[in-house]
């Protein structure tokens, strides 16, 4: 049996045509997703109902024939599994009862998490039985810093005031939360692999908001510890790191965290990445999601530039961030054809 293209690329092989999948490839831009989402009621109910979560994971695979499926879930199921209150408000995003001190950390329970997240692992195992041959299954988690930002701020934030205050003024106290998250997230990734995930991705969506010393302490160190803990159990499973917005720290992240591949956000210059990152590890990325939304010549040129700069080394084609809700689904089909070199 030939190996899956995604696994070959993550192993460092340079394929004539790179494998392609998209962050947030399942979601509200697909009418069939909106239908299932309405049936589920709440977003979290959708995440915790294996039959429905399997269905929405498979929708983009059926439509576009991508090289990988990513488990349909969310980074916030980890704090939810630890016992924090988490809910989603329509058009506002996630809300959480903030964790801002030692007492609140003390209320979080690692022991209950695996049981709480059993439906997520059931979804992974159902998917691994159902996926078409050749399609790899990706599990994921948020990185400690990004998950902590939602936990401490109580939702999305513009300035990261509460989490920075805590991390800068009381690093030892905040460090206890981060240590707990390293353990919980490693366990969550291991459980996904034990249920059938073949690759995992760590989403650090808010890696780009810290000064240098704090970047080392709260991005590099916890991610390194997380990857080491995961690798101790599953040394053969590729880990993709996505330190969105890390800018000049991309090289340090790639060198020091132990990830097997690195996902580039939209702003990372591809010619730079070809010289500085790709000689050492597989790169993934990084079409601007708004180019996918716009489509046409603008998208075609964006695709060409990425393939020209990164196509000579190990590459996984992806976006620089998630698919935007207003994206016409046809544009995704056109993108897949362009990356595969199929003439329209
Ligand atoms: O990529 C995929 O297709 C897999 C599913 C996936 C979701 N969220 C589904 C989702 C993944 C990998 C995530 C990761 C995630 N979740 C991140 C990291 C990646 C990133 O985008 O930066 C973050 C920060 C979150 C937290 C989160 N979840 C936010 C901020 C929101 C609200 C934003 C929005 O679009 O409403 C969510 C909700 C969410 N997660 C939706 C989906 C499809 C929309 C929920 C809905 O259907 O109403």
Q: Is the pLDDT of residue 79 over 70?
A: yes
Q: Is the pLDDT of residue 344 over 60?
A: no
Nearest residue by C-alpha to atom 21 in ligand 1: 322
Q: Name the residue at shortest CA distance from atom 38 of ligand 1.
A: 93
CA of 35 from ligand 1 middle (Å) equals 17
What pLDDT is recorded for position 342? Answer: 87
Nearest ligand 1 atom, CA 146: 24
Ligand 1 binding pocket (C-beta < 6 A) is 23-28, 37, 43, 70, 72, 74-76, 93-94, 140, 142, 156, 203, 205, 322
Which ligand 1 atom is at minimum distance from the Cα of 26? Answer: 3
The predicted model gives 131-150 an average pLDDT of 98
Please report the pLDDT score of residue 185 as a whole number: 98
Mean pLDDT of 144-172: 98
Task: Give 160 Cα–ligand 1 centroid separation in angstroms.
Answer: 19
Q: What is the pLDDT of residue 2?
A: 84
Does 328 have pLDDT greater than 80? yes
Whether residue 1 is predicted with pLDDT greater than 90 in this model: the reply is no
- Quickly state the pLDDT bin for 343 (edges 50, 70, 90): low
CA 24 to ligand 1 center in whole angstroms: 7
Task: Pick the residue whose CA is nearest to atom 10 on ligand 1.
Answer: 74
- Give yes or no for residue 45 having a pLDDT over 80: yes
What is the position in ligand 1's atom list of the atom closest to the CA of 23? 1
Nearest CA residue ID for atom 44, ligand 1: 27
Name the residues annotated as catalytic: 24, 28, 37, 74, 150
| 177-199 pLDDT, tens digit each | 999 999 999 999 999 999 999 99
Mean pLDDT throughout 124-131? Answer: 98
HEC readout, the chain? CCCCHHHHHHCCCCCCCCCECCCCCCCCCCHHHHHHHHHHCCHHHHHCCHHHHHHHHHHHHHHHCCCEEECCCCCCHHHHHCCCCEEEECCCEEEECCCCCHHHHHCCCHHHHHHHCHHHHHHHHHHHHHCCCCCEEEEEEECHHHHHHHHHHCECCCCCHHHHHHHHHCHHHHHHHHHHHHHHHHHHHHHHHHHCCCEEEEEECCHHHCCHHHHHHHHHHHHHHHHHHHHHHCCCCCEEEEECCCHHHHHHHHHHCCCCEEECCCCCCHHHHHHHCCCCCEEEEEECHHHHHHCHHHHHHHHHHHHHHHCCCCEEEEECCCCCCCCCHHHHHHHHHHHHCCCC
pLDDT over 60 (residue 333): yes
Q: For 327-342, what is the mean pLDDT?
A: 97
Give the closest residue (by CA) to ligand 1 atom 11.
74
Substitution candidate for ligand 1 out of 20, 69, 74 with most atoms within 8 A of CB: 74
pTM for the predicted model, two decimal places: 0.97
Q: 43: CA distance to ligand 1 center in Å?
A: 10
* pLDDT at residue 55 in the model: 98
* Distance of CA 308 from the midpoint of ligand 1 (Å): 30
Q: How far is the CA of 193 from the centre of ligand 1 (A)?
A: 21
């Amino acid at each position: 049996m030939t190996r899956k293209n995604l696994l070959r690329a993550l192993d460092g092989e340079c394929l004539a045509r790179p494998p392609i999948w998209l962050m947030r490839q399942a979601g509200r831009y697909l009418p069939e997703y909106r239908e299932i989402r309405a049936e589920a009621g709440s977003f979290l109910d959708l995440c915790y109902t294996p039959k429905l979560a399997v269905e929405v994971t498979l929708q983009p695979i059926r439509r576009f024939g991508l090289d990988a499926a990513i488990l349909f879930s969310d980074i916030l199921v980890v704090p939810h599994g630890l016992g924090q209150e988490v809910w989603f408000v329509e058009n506002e995003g996630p809300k959480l009862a903030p964790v801002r001190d030692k007492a609140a950390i003390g209320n979080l329970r690692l022991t209950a998490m695996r049981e709480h997240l059993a439906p997520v692992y059931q979804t992974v195992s159902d998917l691994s039985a159902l996926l078409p041959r050749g399609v790899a299954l990706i599990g994921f988690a948020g990185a400690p810093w990004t998950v902590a930002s939602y936990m401490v701020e109580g939702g999305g934030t513009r300035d990261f005031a509460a989490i920075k205050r805590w991390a800068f003024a009381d690093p030892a106290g905040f460090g206890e939360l981060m240590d707990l998250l390293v353990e919980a997230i490693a366990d969550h990734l291991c459980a996904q692999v034990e249920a059938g995930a073949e690759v995992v991705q760590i989403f650090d969506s808010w890696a780009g908001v810290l000064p240098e010393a704090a970047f080392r302490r709260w991005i590099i160190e916890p991610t390194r510890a997380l990857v080491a803990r995961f690798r101790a159990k599953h040394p053969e499973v590729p880990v993709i790191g996505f330190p969105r917005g890390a800018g000049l720290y991309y090289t340090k992240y790639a060198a020091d965290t132990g990830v097997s591949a690195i996902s580039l956000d939209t702003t990372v210059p591809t010619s730079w990445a070809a010289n500085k990152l790709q000689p050492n590890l597989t790169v993934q990325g990084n079409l601007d999601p708004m180019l996918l939304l716009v489509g046409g010549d603008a998208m075609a040129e964006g695709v060409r530039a990425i393939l020209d700069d990164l196509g000579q080394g190990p590459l996984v084609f992806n976006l620089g961030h998630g698919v935007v809700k207003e994206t016409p689904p046809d544009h995704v089909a056109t993108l897949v054809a362009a990356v595969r070199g199929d003439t329209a």
